[in-house]
């Protein structure tokens, strides 16, 4: 693709969007939901993602339905009702620059743009060359006019193409903090940046704990995304929770084998475990991952690859003070969340087992999912799922 070719594709998508000015959100939501149902059974999708993402086929079979499930028709209509009315004109087109860490980020991106009434140019990361194009194909099968507003693109390194993309009236950028900052500096329009963030668990042993569900929260996407927990604060018997998580991760690995790790990833795990062992932490480790029980309550991310730190907490009310500011995106918990999480930057709170199953309305980075595409938002939003 050339810069001229990309500009032409964007212009065509804008024209297609203009032709849909009278389109009702209900019609778009229905088409998106139908497309999601087709997309998730596309045999080329899983094949392509196994190759490019490195995730095990069983993992993809587990997570792709969760992505498709985000495009529930009624939930989309409720989102439009809540965030998408009486807000003026959407951006003519939105550029989405997606991170490579987890596959299929393109699907909610496309859906949100379609609901916002904006053409979408979606640049996928190098580990997912297929899901955006596959979703556009699925959408074209059910609603060609809406599919024409979507331009899936991918290129490894091309400054000229990046310049065209970053000239969007609205650019949504996801990735490492440094990447987002570098791209944001080059963008000419409004920017919504989503940098490095993590998930965390809060477990209270006085309430029932579903260890299998917690293990799933840790293991899905091989802990590569911002919803994946890296720390588990425990009110009560932390040693028992560490053992419970280790057992559950071991069992889960039989059903969802870990992705093959690169030498860099294996070296990172080695360093993580060495540090834990010499620090005197309790370590459960194996080919299934690792659970490290520390004596202090302070958050530090792990190296990923299904590794988690179990940290003691005297009282769940003490948790907010332990959260580094704007670092924890999502908290999964088995008890009512303490007050003060929103002020620390937490964007989403959900029951254990649902961390990797965000709704389309997930206010990523505390911004309204749809509303932030339509207007500047100032208030920090936190979604609580029950």
Partner 1 sequence: MSLAAALEAAIVAWADGGAFADFDGWALRAFTYQFERVPAYRAYCERRGVTPATVVSWTDVPAVPTAAFRHADLCSGTAEAVFRTSGTTGGADARGRHPIAHLSLYRASALAGFRHFVVPDDARLACLFMLPPPARRPDSSLVQMCAWVGETMGTEVEWFVGENGLDLPRLRGRLETFAANGAPVLLAGPTAGFVRLFDDGFACRLGPGSRVMDTGGAKGMSRPLSRLGFLRACWTHLGIAGYFCVNEYGMTELCSQRYESVLADRLAGRSLDARRLVAPPWLRTRVLDPDTLEAVAPGATGLLCHHDLANLGSVSVVLSEDLGHATDGDGIAVEGRVSGAPPRGCGQLLAAIVP
Cβ proximity to partner 1: between 228 and 334 the closer is: 228
Cβ proximity to partner 1: between 23 and 300 the closer is: 300
266 contributes a contact to partner 1 by CB under 8 A? yes
Between CA 20 and CA 204 the distance in angstroms is 50
Closest alpha carbon to 273 in 254, 260, 286: 286
Are the beta carbons of 310 and 283 closer than 8 angstroms? no
Cβ proximity to partner 1: between 309 and 367 the closer is: 309
Cβ proximity to partner 1: between 196 and 205 the closer is: 196
**DSSP one-letter string for 219-271:** HGGGG-STTSEEEEEEES-HHHHHHHHHHHHHHHHHHSPPPPPPHHHHHHHHH
Size of the site for partner 1 (CB under 8 A): 20
Closest alpha carbon to 168 in 148, 188, 192, 193: 188
263 contributes a contact to partner 1 by CB under 8 A? yes
Between CA 230 and CA 325 the distance in angstroms is 16
176 contributes a contact to partner 1 by CB under 8 A? no
Among the candidate windows 74-82, 208-216, 252-260, 273-281, which touches partner 1 by CB under 8 A?
Answer: 273-281
Contacting partner 1 (CB under 8 A), which of 86, 89, 254, 264? 264
Among the candidate windows 6-14, 57-65, 96-104, 275-283, which touches partner 1 by CB under 8 A?
Answer: 275-283
Binding pattern for the stretch 185-224 against partner 1, x by CB under 8 A and - elsewhere:
----------------------------------------
Contacting partner 1 (CB under 8 A), which of 3, 212, 268, 283? 268
81 contributes a contact to partner 1 by CB under 8 A? no
Contacting partner 1 (CB under 8 A), which of 37, 267, 317, 339? 267
Cβ proximity to partner 1: between 8 and 266 the closer is: 266
Cβ proximity to partner 1: between 19 and 270 the closer is: 270
Between CA 212 and CA 194 the distance in angstroms is 29
Cβ proximity to partner 1: between 264 and 315 the closer is: 264
Q: How far is CA 41 from CA 61, 107, 142, 317, in A?
A: 10, 14, 15, 44
Between CA 17 and CA 113 the distance in angstroms is 10
Cβ proximity to partner 1: between 86 and 325 the closer is: 325
**Which tokens go with 255?**
């059903």
Contacting partner 1 (CB under 8 A), which of 19, 47, 82, 270? 270
326 contributes a contact to partner 1 by CB under 8 A? no
Strand runs labelled E in 281-377 = 282-286, 289-293, 307-312, 328-333, 348-351
User: 147: which residues sit within 8 A by CB, 6+ positions away?
Assistant: 35, 136, 137, 139, 140
Element (H, E) at 345: none
Binding pattern for the stretch 285-324 against partner 1, x by CB under 8 A and - elsewhere:
---------------xxxx---------------------
Residue 198, judged by CB atoms within 10 A of its CB (0-12, 13-18, 19+), counts as buried
Among the candidate windows 136-144, 155-163, 169-177, 257-265, which touches partner 1 by CB under 8 A?
Answer: 257-265
Contacting partner 1 (CB under 8 A), which of 5, 271, 324, 336? 271
Between CA 307 and CA 242 the distance in angstroms is 11
280 contributes a contact to partner 1 by CB under 8 A? yes
156 contributes a contact to partner 1 by CB under 8 A? no
The binding site for partner 1 (CB under 8 A) comprises 263-272, 274-275, 277-280, 300-303
């Amino acid at each position: 693709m050339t810069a001229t070719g990309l500009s032409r594709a964007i212009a065509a998508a804008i024209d297609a969007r203009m032709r849909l000015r009278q389109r009702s959100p209900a019609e778009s939501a229905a088409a998106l939901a139908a497309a999601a149902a087709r997309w998730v059974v596309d045999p080329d999708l899983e094949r392509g993602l196994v190759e490019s993402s490195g995730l095990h086929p069983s993992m993809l079979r587990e997570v792709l339905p969760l992505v498709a499930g985000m495009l529930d028709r009624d939930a989309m209509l409720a989102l439009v009702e809540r965030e998408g009315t009486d807000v003026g004109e959407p951006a003519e087109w939105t550029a989405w620059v997606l991170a490579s860490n987890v596959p299929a980020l393109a699907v909610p991106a496309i859906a949100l743009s379609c609901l916002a009434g904006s053409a979408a140019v979606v640049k996928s990361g190098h580990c997912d060359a297929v899901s955006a194009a596959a979703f556009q194909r699925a959408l074209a099968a059910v609603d060609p006019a809406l599919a024409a507003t979507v331009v899936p693109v991918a290129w490894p390194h091309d400054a000229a193409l990046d310049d065209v993309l970053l000239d969007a009236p609205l650019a949504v950028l996801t990735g490492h903090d440094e990447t987002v900052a570098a791209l944001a500096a080059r963008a000419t329009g409004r920017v919504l940046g989503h940098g490095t963030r993590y998930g965390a668990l809060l477990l209270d042993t006085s309430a029932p704990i579903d260890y299998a569900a917690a293990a799933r929260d840790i293991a899905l996407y091989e802990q590569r995304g911002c919803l994946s927990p890296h720390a588990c604060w425990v009110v009560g018997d932390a040693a028992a929770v560490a053992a419970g998580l280790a057992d559950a991760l071991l069992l889960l690995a039989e059903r969802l084998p870990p992705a093959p790790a690169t030498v860099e990833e294996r070296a990172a795990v080695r360093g993580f475990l060495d540090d834990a062992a010499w620090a005197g932490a309790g370590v459960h480790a194996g080919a299934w991952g690792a659970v490290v029980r520390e004596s202090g309550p302070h958050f530090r991310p792990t190296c990923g690859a299904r590794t988690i730190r179990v940290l003691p907490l005297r009282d769940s009310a003490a948790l907010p003070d332990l959260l580094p500011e704007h670092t924890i995106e999502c908290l999964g918990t088995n008890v009512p969340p303490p007050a003060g999480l929103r002020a620390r930057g937490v964007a989403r709170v959900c029951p254990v087992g649902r961390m990797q199953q965000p709704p389309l309305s997930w206010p990523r980075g505390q911004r309204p999912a749809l509303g932030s595409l339509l207007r500047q938002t100032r208030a920090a939003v936190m979604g609580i799922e029950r």
